[in-house]
Structure 1
Amino acid sequence: MKFEIQFSGHENIRSNHQKTIEITKDSHLTLQGDCIVGINATSSCSDLPLELKEKLKNPDSKIKFSIRVGDYEFLLEGQGHPELILSHTEDIVIRKSDFICPRTLAIKCDKSSDLLPRDMVALLQDPKTKGIFAISVD
């Protein structure tokens, strides 16, 4: 199953957090949001289809993510968990840790926002930039 979320860039995107990656439906971003790679997202955790949520809650699910911006694609993988809440109405966060809250989409991910190519981050600092956050669950 694959699900895609569109998002936009913002001048305050820094993408230098070492444990998480976040996209948000919010239209404003402060410099404190250093894990955020996109704003104005078309979906949050609560908006995901029920079938996808059920797959994300399976601890055996292999979850793959891609962040596509211009000619760049950033790939990463994570795990599901039966205790995922998936109810946040604004945000999606994928984590290297096993911390779970309503914003958590996946845990034990193999990459975080500090690993995004800096050329991609530079593109994301332009509010006109559009990107796609894709979720694939096998």
Structure 2
Amino acid sequence: MMEVVRARGHPNITAKHRTTMEVTRDPEITRRADCVIGVSADKGLSDVAGWLKSHLLLGLPVRIIIEVEGSSFSLLAFGDERLTFESEREIVIRRSEYVDGRTLAVRATASARDLPRSMVRMLARGAPLLMRIEPLRRTPGLRGWRA
């Protein structure tokens, strides 16, 4: 199973934030929104599938794959029992353990500033963005997590 979020870039995307990464349903952002990597998203956090919410509420990990014009970037993040999935507009991934109504996952291995600059340039030109969120689980007898 996989959750898919579609968004697009915007001329004001800089992706310089060191602790968060965000996609928003809002069609416009200012240059101050340095955590935003996609606008006009087809869903907000409250629209995420129930099976994914259940997975994340157990504190389990997800792989997040961001694709822009044939380039991809992936990161690992974890759920948390405090997640509320309230936001109808934003989806935020955090390096920290801070949780609010916009938070999808915490303890992420990357933030907006870690996106390859070539990908950020494509997003600043308005390129389409695809974010895939894949639940991971422990597999007995194997090391680590797998989809």
Q: Same fold (TM over 0.5)?
A: yes
Residue by residue, what CA displacement relative to the aligned partner does 1:38-70 show, whole Å, maximum 9, x if unpaired? 0000111101111111111111x1211011001
Tell me how far apart the structure 2 counterparts of residues 28 and 132 of structure 1 sit (CA, whole Å). 18
Unaligned runs of 5+ in 2: 137-147
Q: TM-score, normalised by structure 1?
A: 0.96
Q: Give the SS at the match of 2:52.
A: helix
Partners in 1 of 2:39 and 2:108 — Cα distance? 21
Asked whether 1:36 is paired with 2:36, we answer yes
Q: Alpha-carbon deviation of 1:126? A: 1.3
How many Å separate the matches in 1 of 2:64 and 2:51? 17
- 1:1-138 alignment to 2 at 5 Å? 1-59=1-59, 61-127=60-126, 129-138=127-136
Match of 2:141 in 1: none
Report the secondary structure of 1:123's partner residue. Answer: helix
RMSD: 0.7
Flag as ranges the 4+ runs of structure 1 deviating above 3 A: none
Rounded Cα–Cα distance in structure 2 between residues aligned with 1:62 and 1:107: 9
* 3-state SS, counterpart of residue 122 of structure 1: helix
State how far apart, in whole Å, the 2-side matches of 1:18 and 1:96 are.
8
Distance in 2 (alpha carbons) for counterparts of 1:71 and 1:84? 32
Instruction: Identify the structure with bigger relative contact order (alpha carbons < 8 Å, sequence gap 6+).
Output: 1
Secondary structure in structure 2 of the residue aligned to 1:10: coil
Q: What TM-score comes out, normalization by structure 2 length? A: 0.90
Output one character per residue of 1:21-43: Cα deviation in whole Å (capped at 9) or x when no partner. 00000001101100000000011
**Structure 1: segments with no counterpart, 5+ residues:** none
In 2, the alpha carbon distance for the partners of 1:116 and 1:124 equals 11
Q: CA deviation at 1:14?
A: 0.2
Tell me the matched-pair count.
Answer: 136
User: In structure 2, what residue type is equivalent to 1:79?
Assistant: F
Q: Secondary structure at the match of 2:51?
A: helix
Determine which structure has more spread, i.e. the larger CA radius of gyration. Answer: 2
